[in-house]
Amino acid sequence: MKFIQLTGITLFCLALWGCATQPANLDAIAQDSVADRAQWGSEQTAQSSLADSLLALFNDDALNQLVIKSQQHNLSLLQQKARTDAVLFTLTQAQAENLPEVSANVSSQRQKTANSGPTNSHSLALDVSWEWDIWGGLHAESKQALADLQASQLSYQALQDSIAAQTMQAYINAISQTQLAGLSEKNYLSLEKTLMVVSRQYLDGSVDLSDLTQARQNLANADASRISSQLAQRNAIRTLQLLIGDYPDGEALATYHLPKLLAAPKAGVPADVLARRPDVQAAWHEVESVGWGVAVARADRFPKITLTGQVGQSASALKDLLNGDLIWSLASSVGYNLFDGGSLKAKEEQSLSLAEAQYYSYLDTVMTALNEVETALDSEHSQYQQEQAQHQAVAQARLLLANAEQDYRAGLLDITDWLSFQRSLFTAQSALIETRNQRLQNRISLGLALGLGV
């Protein structure tokens, strides 16, 4: 009779199997949904190299050591690694749901009634419980957990690359701010000497009080600029120290020189870049995850079939337990929600909407990645031209200042023009440092956008 009941349940479930929802078909959401382009819209540098990592963009051992340190001690990276480990255990739990659950128990009982003396009963049993995954819901949960793990691992890799790039950019910015602080100090000392010259001329009566006042004002402005530059230097160093896990004390760097800039990396084609970028691949696995989530939600709408079994022995004396009477049982159960007010259907529709939203999020990640490459390529070309022009501006400003100083000492030029030429040189030199800083940082942004990692 039990066999007939079990067979009837099985046939009932097989009849519904054709109505069961299979895991969501993700082939319709392919990674080439965004139209492929054969080339980038922005112009690429003529001299380019096949760089295989961010560290290959520069030739600087000190910078390499800082990047390695950031990979070992950055707190954001350590947090993400712990989260990825947690997702791995989630996958283990999901896979375990597909396997039978086996438990063992030993029980002892002493019983006495009014008509009989005390009796002892001891039992040893092995219980087995297994949910028949006929609708694929447990399988879909395992696939969803696997996609979550792959997305988490790729997100960790993307963060590794991002932290490496941020460290390199912070290092370059710290050196640039150090150079600007040094330039501000040099400008201050130059204007201090200028004030001494004007002071002597004022005592000689060759200049009036307004010239002396203007020289003092320029020195005060230079002093304020010097203090501001020193603060910017310390803050830039603190940013670098936080990235590598050091205490942010703002102590000066051991170097004053920027790393040597090597040839720009080859951009390749957009499809190859998207395949290299871990953030894009992570976004795709997130789409897969919610796709499997749809399958889970649909499977929840069908009956759940559970098979249970027990085998064991019992005896009146504990010493006879292993030689006692054999007891076994086999049972099956079907659970089905006859009425839930549309809750499970709403859950399925919700999962479909979330899958659609995640797909558009993936497309947004793809477009953002492409935009980052186009922007970095465009900036690479423009900033190179800007730096060359700024070199010329510094050279001309230095020449004009030298001529102006001679003319001032010869009495052919007033102090206002002389100080103006000094400010022009300081401004041009500051702009050159800033332009160089931006170009080197953009080179790192380009490498990161192209999918170069550590």
Q: What is the pLDDT of residues 13-57, one digit of tens each?
A: 334 344 444 444 444 344 444 546 778 887 777 666 767 899 999
- Identify the band that residue 68 occupies on the pLDDT scale cut at 50, 70 and 90: very high
DSSP symbols for 352-367: HHHHHHHHHHHHHHHH
Residue pLDDT, tens place only, 388-447: 999 999 999 999 989 988 888 877 888 778 888 888 999 999 999 999 999 999 999 999
Number of Cβ within 10 Å of residue 404's Cβ equals: 20
Distance, in Å, from the CA atom of 143 to the CA atom of 159, rounded to the nearest integer, reads: 24
pLDDT over 90 (residue 301): no
| C-alpha 366 chain-centroid distance | 15
Residue pLDDT, tens place only, 340-360: 788 888 888 888 988 999 999
pLDDT, the chain, mean: 84
State the sign of the Cα–Cα–Cα–Cα dihedral 6, 11, 14, 19: negative
SS3 content of the chain, % helix, strand, coil (to 5): 65, 15, 20
Distance, in Å, from the CA atom of 64 to the CA atom of 167, rounded to the nearest integer, reads: 10
pTM > 0.85: yes or no: no
User: Quick one: what percent of the chain has pLDDT higher than 90?
Assistant: 46
Distance, in Å, from the CA atom of 390 to the CA atom of 344, rounded to the nearest integer, reads: 66
Contact (Cβ atoms closer than 8 angstroms) between residue 216 and residue 420: no
Residue pLDDT, tens place only, 368-394: 999 999 999 999 889 999 999 999 999
Residue pLDDT, tens place only, 91-114: 888 888 888 888 888 777 777 666
Strand order in the sheet with 325-335: 101-113, 116-132, 304-315, 325-335
pLDDT over 90 (residue 165): yes
Segment (H or E) for 116: strand 116-132
Distances (CA, A) of 272 to 66, 153, 278, 396: 29, 20, 12, 45
Q: What angle do CA 392, 373, 388 make, to 5 degrees?
A: 5
pLDDT over 80 (residue 251): yes
- Which residues have C-beta within 8 Å of that of residue 155, sequence separation ≥ 6? 80, 84, 278, 279, 282
pLDDT at residue 321, rounded to an integer: 60
The mean per-residue pLDDT over the stretch 119-131 comes to: 79
pLDDT at residue 117, rounded to an integer: 66
Domain spans, the chain: 2-101+134-304+358-449
Number of Cβ within 10 Å of residue 36's Cβ equals: 9
Number of Cβ within 10 Å of residue 13's Cβ equals: 17
The mean per-residue pLDDT over the stretch 262-268 comes to: 86
pLDDT at residue 46, rounded to an integer: 61
- Identify the band that residue 322 occupies on the pLDDT scale cut at 50, 70 and 90: low
- Identify the band that residue 241 occupies on the pLDDT scale cut at 50, 70 and 90: very high
The mean per-residue pLDDT over the stretch 145-172 comes to: 96
pLDDT over 60 (residue 83): yes
The mean per-residue pLDDT over the stretch 283-307 comes to: 90
pLDDT at residue 33, rounded to an integer: 46
The residues with which 328 forms a beta bridge, in sequence order, are: 311
The mean per-residue pLDDT over the stretch 197-223 comes to: 89
- Which residues have C-beta within 8 Å of that of residue 449, sequence separation ≥ 6? 273, 369, 372, 373, 375, 376
pLDDT over 60 (residue 262): yes
Which of 6-10, 21-25, 298-302, 433-437 has the weakest average pLDDT?
Answer: 6-10
**Paired tokens of 427:** 């401004």
Segment (H or E) for 109: strand 101-113
Distance, in Å, from the CA atom of 450 to the CA atom of 380, rounded to the nearest integer, reads: 13
Distance, in Å, from the CA atom of 9 to the CA atom of 331, rounded to the nearest integer, reads: 11
Number of Cβ within 10 Å of residue 240's Cβ equals: 24
pLDDT at residue 446, rounded to an integer: 94
Query: Nearest-CA neighbor of 397 among 364, 419, 373, 421?
Result: 421
- What number does CATH give the domain 2-101+134-304+358-449? 1.20.1600.10
Distance, in Å, from the CA atom of 351 to the CA atom of 335, rounded to the nearest integer, reads: 23
Locate the DSSP E strands across 234-286: 260-261, 264-265
The mean per-residue pLDDT over the stretch 188-213 comes to: 88
pLDDT at residue 232, rounded to an integer: 95
pLDDT over 70 (residue 120): yes
- Identify the band that residue 324 occupies on the pLDDT scale cut at 50, 70 and 90: low
The mean per-residue pLDDT over the stretch 187-202 comes to: 89
The mean per-residue pLDDT over the stretch 200-209 comes to: 87
The mean per-residue pLDDT over the stretch 300-323 comes to: 76
pLDDT at residue 114, rounded to an integer: 62
pLDDT over 80 (residue 58): yes
What phi-psi label fits residue 263: left (phi over 0), alpha (psi between -120 and 50 degrees) or beta?
A: beta
Q: Tokens 């950031």 correspond to what residue?
A: 70
Query: HSE on the CB side for 425, CA within 13 Å?
Result: 23
Distance, in Å, from the CA atom of 116 to the CA atom of 236, rounded to the nearest integer, reads: 89
Higher pLDDT, residue 262 or 244: 244
pLDDT over 90 (residue 278): yes
User: Quick one: what percent of the chain has pLDDT higher than 70?
Assistant: 87
Distance, in Å, from the CA atom of 198 to the CA atom of 40, rounded to the nearest integer, reads: 58
